[in-house]
């Protein structure tokens, strides 16, 4: 934890004092953050200072198991396919007790990712912790299907984040989509912001992944702050659905390619990864999906 960051105990006291205000408010979606300035499938979690490498230990687990190191995700619920509703779950420790103490990571006590199992839809949301240890919030799935619920958190006193996952079926007819792959899938946009992969990743414990962020005309964009960084990148291995989560290494650089973000990576397995890039432009949060190919080590 960096100097000046509130301790987990202080955060818990503040959360308890504010409980009456937030209980029932449900999920604070990532787009609600204030704008500012600026395993086999594992990447580095924390952003490093400008020009420095991250020294954070790799998270334990990759979201494909409901139990990791004795920690469990239990009592998972999702809403129906037709309208927003509640997502809820509890985290149990190795002794079977409900976890209520967490360390802050990337401005939050817990990160929740809800992704359709074909990687065609992705939600990154932040639920609220109840006094009974149940996390509750609101999410709009937008349709039926197999949905993967992935939680990422640091139990109080732990040295590394824990990543747990559970798959639930939301009833209704649906057709799984094919994950976009190939050179064309290395570029994506949401109608306003375009993200382009500049170079394929490689298997290395000290790799780099570069992305260019531009408008649709290819011009650089000024990026705001989101969860304490200029961008947030969440991904899943196309084959195993293993979870990855990274942030930029240093400040963005404006070049002829656009606003270039560099990520420090520690891929140990080659293959395709579906990446969801989130960044803030003019106060609005944008999400763009691309597919990156990680090459074997030379």
Please, what are the domains in the chain?
A: 8-34+58-170 (2.60.40.1940), 183-295 (2.60.40.2480)
Ranking 105-109, 125-129, 218-222 by mean pLDDT, the lowest is 105-109
Residue 143 burial class via C-beta count within 10 angstroms: exposed 0-12, middle 13-18, buried 19 and up: middle
Q: Buried b vs exposed e over 114-128: b needs ≥16 C-beta within 10 Å?
A: bbbbbbbbbbbbbbb
Give the list of residues 6+ apart from residue 67 with CB closer than 8 angstroms, or none: 164
Q: What value does the mean pLDDT of the chain take?
A: 82
Alpha carbons 226 and 283: distance in angstroms, whole number: 10
Mean pLDDT of 57-70: 90
| pLDDT value for 246 | 75
Q: Between 51 and 99, where is the model more confident?
A: 99
| pLDDT tens by residue, 102-116 | 999 878 899 999 999
Of the pLDDT bands very low, low, confident and very high (cuts 50, 70, 90), residue 57 is low
Q: Is the model's pLDDT at 82 over the cut of 70? A: yes
Q: Is the model's pLDDT at 223 over the cut of 50? A: yes
- Name the residue among 38, 44, 114, 46 with its Cα closest to residue 76: 114
Asked if 130 and 99 count as a contact pair (C-beta separation under 8 A), the reply is no
Residue 214 CB: number of other CB atoms within 10 A?
18
| pLDDT value for 40 | 29
Alpha carbons 73 and 273: distance in angstroms, whole number: 24
Highest mean pLDDT among 99-113, 139-153, 219-233: 139-153
Q: Give the rounded percent of residues in the chain with a pLDDT score beyond 70.
A: 80
Q: How far is CA 16 from CA 7, 200, 274, in A?
A: 14, 45, 37
| pLDDT value for 3 | 36
- The answer to whether the pTM exceeds 0.75 is yes
| pLDDT tens by residue, 224-281 | 998 888 998 998 999 999 998 877 788 999 999 999 999 877 777 889 999 999 999 9
Alpha carbons 263 and 296: distance in angstroms, whole number: 18
Of the pLDDT bands very low, low, confident and very high (cuts 50, 70, 90), residue 24 is very low
Alpha carbons 250 and 229: distance in angstroms, whole number: 9
DSSP 8-class letter at 179: P
| pLDDT tens by residue, 176-218 | 999 999 999 999 999 999 999 998 888 787 778 899 999 999 9
DSSP 8-class letter at 40: T
Q: How far is CA 236 from CA 36, 133, 140, 179, in A?
A: 28, 28, 20, 11
Lookup: tokens for 133: 């240890």
Q: Is the model's pLDDT at 81 over the cut of 90? A: yes
Q: Is the model's pLDDT at 219 over the cut of 80? A: yes
Give ∠ CA 123-127-128 in degrees, rounded to 5: 170
- Name the residue among 225, 221, 210 with its Cα closest to residue 262: 210
| pLDDT value for 188 | 98
Terminal Cα-to-Cα distance of the chain (whole angstroms) = 35
Q: Is the model's pLDDT at 39 over the cut of 60? A: no
């Amino acid at each position: 934890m960096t100097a000046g960051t509130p301790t987990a105990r202080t955060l818990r006291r503040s959360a308890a004092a504010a409980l009456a205000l937030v209980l029932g408010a449900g999920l604070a979606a990532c787009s609600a953050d204030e704008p500012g300035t600026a395993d086999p499938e594992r990447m580095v979690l924390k952003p490093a200072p400008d020009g420095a490498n991250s020294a954070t230990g790799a998270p334990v687990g990759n979201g494909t198991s409901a139990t990791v190191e004795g920690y469990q995700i239990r009592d998972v619920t999702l809403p129906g396919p037709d309208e927003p509703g509640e997502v809820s779950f509890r985290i149990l420790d190795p002794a079977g007790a409900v976890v209520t103490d967490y360390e802050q990571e990337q401005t939050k006590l817990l990160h929740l990712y809800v992704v359709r199992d074909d990687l065609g839809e992705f939600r990154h949301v932040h639920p609220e912790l109840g006094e009974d240890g149940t996390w509750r919030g609101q999410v709009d799935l937008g349709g039926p299907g197999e949905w993967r619920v992935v939680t990422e958190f640091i139990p109080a006193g732990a040295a590394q984040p824990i990543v747990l996952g559970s798959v639930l079926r939301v009833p209704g007819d649906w057709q799984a989509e094919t994950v976009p792959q190939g050179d064309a899938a290395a570029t994506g946009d949401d109608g306003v912001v375009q993200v382009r992969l500049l170079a394929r990743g490689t298997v290395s414990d000290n790799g780099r992944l570069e992305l260019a962020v531009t408008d649709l005309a290819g011009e650089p964009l000024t990026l705001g702050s989101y969860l304490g960084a200029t961008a947030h990148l969440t991904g899943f291995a196309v084959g195993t659905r293993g979870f990855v989560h990274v942030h930029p290494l240093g400040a963005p650089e404006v070049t002829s390619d656009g606003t270039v973000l560099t990520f420090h990576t520690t891929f140990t397995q080659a293959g395709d990864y579906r990446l969801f890039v989130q960044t803030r432009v003019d106060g609005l949060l944008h999400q763009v999906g691309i597919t990156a190919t990680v090459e074997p080590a030379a």
